[in-house]
Amino acid sequence: MTSFTRAVAAENSGNLEEARARYLEVLQAEPQNPRALHRLGMVELRLGRPREAVILFQKSLSIAKDLEVYLDFGAAMAAMARWDATAAVYAAALRVAPASVDAHYGLALALHRQGRPQDAEPHYRQVLATHSHLGEVHNNLGVALQDLGRFAEAAAAHREAARLDPADAAAWSKLGVVLHRMGQGVEAEAALRKAVGFAPQDADNWHNLTGLLDAAGRSAEAFAAGRLAVALDPASARNWLALGNAARAGERREEAWRAASAAVRLEPSDPAARNNLANALRDLGRLRDAVAHYRAALDLQPDFPVAEINLALLLSSLRDADGALAVLMALLARQPDNGEAWRRLGGVLAEAVRPDAAVAVLRKAVALGPGEPDVHADLAMAAAMAGWSSVSVDACRRVLRLVPDHAAALGQLVHQQRLVCYWRDLDRLEEALLRRVRAGAEGVSPFDVLSCASTLADQQSAAARWAAAKARGAVPVARPAAVVRDGRLRIGYLSADFREHAMGHLMVDALETHDRSHFAITAYSTGIDDGSALRRRFERGIERFVELRRHTDADAAQAITADGIDILVDLTGFTTFSRTSILAARPAPVQVNWLGYPGTLGAEYVDYIVADPTVIAPGEERNFTERVVRLPDCYQPNDRRRSIAEATPTRADCGLPADGFVFCCFNSAYKLTPALFDGWARILAAVPGSVLWLYAGNPQVIANLRREGEARGLESNRLVFAKPLPHAEHLARHRLADLFLDTLPYNAHTTASDALWAGLPVLTRRGTTFAGRVAASLLRAAGLPDLIVDDQEAYETAAVDLARSPDRLRDLRQRLARNRPDCPLFDTPRFTRHLEAAYRAMWDIRQGGGAPRPITIAAGDTGGPKSAIQGEGEAR
């Protein structure tokens, strides 16, 4: 037996040190023996000395180009994950033996591992040309094809592997993955179910199934599969990530956070894990911790658009618009064609109340993604904020072409068409909207429903879904265990409208008139400071004025709770700039809906709605999620200090004819309807020489209403349009009108109060909802109930009769003038005492341990001084 033979025997028996010594003996005698160099290289490799093995392989090949040496050398490089060197060795092997199946396969694997699937593909196919029975090669070819985006071919390759070995779990798993990417969810799930059936202990199979189920919206099943993947391989960060995604989709916030935290512990340098942890923290309301982890993800991977967009959106929600804009602008500097970044930039600008800039940005996003309905929807919203109704209408229509059942876009389309009095197809659109509301559609703004011919049940249905959406992610705040008190009931008023605004004019006097000996009043402002005299009056006239505009919803709720507010009154409802999510965090033990929104908020976290017997009739309580509190006169307050300019403009100044009866309606254009306009046309036709004076701040409204008037046989001079004026001057021009004609289904509210305060009688038709009965409530409180009618025929008859009866109209004006100083509508102290009695009743129920229940305040009931509160921490 030769030394070489003995060395081979020792190697084969596993006696590696002896084999090494024997091969060295051979090489001492024959330094250029290629076979000994080759075998010694293999021994060194098995002894864990790869560097020495490489040198020996290279020496052997320098002497003789042997295929076997190349193959072993390539395998050694592959074992060390030296894929570039591996590819070079196998390529050299193919120059020696072009038909070598092993060399082709080795080169294919090496190229694939280098991220070169297009170069690997021909080598996989070369192997299969002569060895088509190798399922593993079919699987690897399938993965390469999948990497190249050739999913149908990839699926065919995996199907062939599964055909060759029906129990090949890897083939079924890979087939399931590629079918999922092809959108063939049912077939993908069937394949993955086979994979887990054949290999139930393989965590990868459960991981893939988790992802599929999560994408299908089956979060509970995905969560169960993810838990199995984690149980089988708890050291895999990607399994924890998949579990966290499933948990988050199922709103299992704590589980999502724990899973993402585990992924970060296992892979602290994985930016995706950091991003997911930030998402979970955001869902838990830990917003600043989330910001830190988004930034950590970006430190690890600066070019990470998903994390950048997530960070920008979170900064925007934290009221850091400048920070959000900086993040998105940096992203767009690198990726100017990133449509999602443009879209989010538009959203941040809109949130920062820069709607014109938002529209410009969102137009860019639309150009990049014309088939994306969400982009058009965002453009529609920004354009509406900017007052560009025609742009908003066009964007809504594009959304509906892409997604015909998009209920939110339909609601906005209806409202925007109303805003400019574009009534073509309006009846059909409103009917479609109400059908969707009744079918349970999500995303319809309740305010859009108020102006339609909706029922109280429709309004409650839309509001309940909207309120539930606003509550998602809201974390209840804990009330302080002890609050230093002074014995007064603490009332907080939450509003975006402490400014030159209709609601501002209504409520300022009532808030100033509160009895400070028994009530501690705080105004929480979430709206802009417009610098107006009315804003300054709010700041001076209310005991505490707190600016919350730049607070997050969570921080605002915390601030209100920290102040120990007993009753929080929302004055904005679902109108512009509402912050309903603050209420969802329950910052006060009693929460009230009043004044700003004429309907139910549909929110379980709002206890009461302030109304009166007219706007919410007895028996209608079931359509209000809140408990109804009825004040004795009218739910609406008024400002006794509302000034009217002394100088009255001339008819010519206002574009009115020198003679003739002047009907007017200064309501917003969205309250006008085709049916209402039909009735107005009949009234004008019955009163020769009369005109209808309407408010129009938008040229489109004028053009559209003139066209509608012509279609009804009205000459263009029968319609006169009033331009915007300062409030005192606006009130003064009411003196030129003879009768205010109200609208339905949405009445005049502040505009009716303005008219009555200015001495102008208002004719209203009583509706069937809160929004349609407000003018009736005002007229009762003003002592003019005879101006309330119940049907359209009576409305038209009354309008014509009054126009033909100057004596009767003069009597109405005189009665209104006599009533104004002390009628309930304008007796703000009387109103405020009744409101305070309602607050006392709410609090007494709360202190007695009872659930909220309906409350009726009798005329003259002020509740007495029993409202003084005693409680833990009270200063005595």
Give me the pLDDT at residue 51, please: 85
| Spatial contact of 823 and 782, defined as CB atoms under 8 Å apart | yes
Q: Which two tokens stand for residue 731?
A: 């009130």
Query: What percent of the chain is modeled with pLDDT above 90?
Result: 86
Q: Which stretch of 26-35, 363-372, 615-624 has the lowest confidence by average pLDDT?
A: 26-35
Per residue in 641-664, pLDDT (tens digit) is 999 999 999 999 999 999 999 999
Per residue in 293-347, pLDDT (tens digit) is 999 999 999 999 999 999 999 999 999 999 999 999 999 999 999 999 999 999 9
146-176: burial string, b at 16+ Cβ within 10 Å, e else: bbeebbebbbbbbbbbbebbeebbbbbbbbb
Per residue in 362-382, pLDDT (tens digit) is 999 999 999 999 999 999 999
Q: Which two tokens stand for residue 576?
A: 């512009």
Rounded Cα distance between 355 and 383, Å, is: 7
| SS3 readout for 313-349 | HHHHHCCCHHHHHHHHHHHHHHCCCCHHHHHHHHHHH
Give me the pLDDT at residue 875, please: 28
| Spatial contact of 862 and 473, defined as CB atoms under 8 Å apart | no
Give 484's pLDDT tier (boundaries 50, 70, 90). confident
Fold topology of 662-828: Rossmann fold (3.40.50)
Q: Which two tokens stand for residue 256?
A: 């999502």
Match 């049916």 to its residue by tokens.
Answer: 675
How far out from the chain centre does Cα 443 lie?
10
Give me the pLDDT at residue 861, please: 81
Give me the pLDDT at residue 863, please: 65
pTM, rounded to two decimals: 0.83
Give 576's pLDDT tier (boundaries 50, 70, 90). confident
Residue 351 DSSP SS3:
helix
| Spatial contact of 293 and 263, defined as CB atoms under 8 Å apart | no
* Residue predicted with more confidence, 14 or 594: 594
Per residue in 47-67, pLDDT (tens digit) is 888 888 889 889 988 999 989
- The DSSP letter of residue 669 is G
Give me the pLDDT at residue 833, please: 98
Give me the pLDDT at residue 1, please: 63
Per residue in 440-476, pLDDT (tens digit) is 999 999 999 999 999 999 999 999 999 999 998 788 9
* Average pLDDT of the segment spanning 187-195: 94
Give 862's pLDDT tier (boundaries 50, 70, 90). confident
User: How many C-beta atoms lie closer than 10 Å to residue 550's C-beta?
Assistant: 12
Give me the pLDDT at residue 874, please: 29
Give me the pLDDT at residue 812, please: 97
| Spatial contact of 486 and 875, defined as CB atoms under 8 Å apart | yes
Strand partners, 567: 491, 590
Rounded to whole angstroms, what are the CA distances from 19 to 41, 49, 59, 119? Answer: 11, 15, 19, 40
Match 């507010």 to its residue by tokens.
Answer: 565
Give me the pLDDT at residue 868, please: 34
Q: Which two tokens stand for residue 107?
A: 């080169």
Query: What percent of the chain is modeled with pLDDT above 70?
Result: 98
Q: Which two tokens stand for residue 796?
A: 């038209």
Rounded Cα distance between 769 and 745, Å, is: 8
Match 């915390």 to its residue by tokens.
Answer: 558
The domain defined by 489-639 carries CATH number 1.10.800.10: no
The length of the chain, given as a count of residues: 876
Backbone dihedral region of 501: left (phi > 0), alpha (psi from -120 to 50 degrees) or beta?
beta
Rounded Cα distance between 226 and 262, Å, is: 13
HSE, side-chain direction, 13 A CA sphere, residue 471: 18
- The DSSP letter of residue 657 is -
| Spatial contact of 674 and 418, defined as CB atoms under 8 Å apart | no
Residue 490: name the closest of 562, 571, 593 by CA. 562
The yes-or-no verdict on residue 872 having pLDDT over 60 is no
Q: Where does residue 615 rank: exposed (0-12), middle (13-18), buried (19+ CB within 10 A)?
A: buried
* Average pLDDT of the segment spanning 358-362: 97
Residue 560 DSSP SS3:
helix
The residue extents of the domains of the chain are: 489-639, 662-828
H/E element holding 308?
helix 305-317
Mean pLDDT for the chain overall: 94
The yes-or-no verdict on residue 867 having pLDDT over 50 is no
Rounded Cα distance between 253 and 259, Å, is: 10
Give me the pLDDT at residue 798, please: 98
The yes-or-no verdict on residue 573 having pLDDT over 70 is yes
Residue 741: name the closest of 713, 767, 761 by CA. 761
The yes-or-no verdict on residue 600 having pLDDT over 50 is yes
Q: Which two tokens stand for residue 525?
A: 């402002």
299 Cβ contact partners less than 8 Å away, ≥ 6 residues apart: none
The yes-or-no verdict on residue 482 having pLDDT over 90 is no
| Spatial contact of 755 and 740, defined as CB atoms under 8 Å apart | yes
Q: Which two tokens stand for residue 751?
A: 């505009």
356 Cβ contact partners less than 8 Å away, ≥ 6 residues apart: 386
Match 């956070």 to its residue by tokens.
Answer: 257
* Residue predicted with more confidence, 5 or 514: 514
Give me the pLDDT at residue 48, please: 86
The yes-or-no verdict on residue 79 having pLDDT over 90 is no
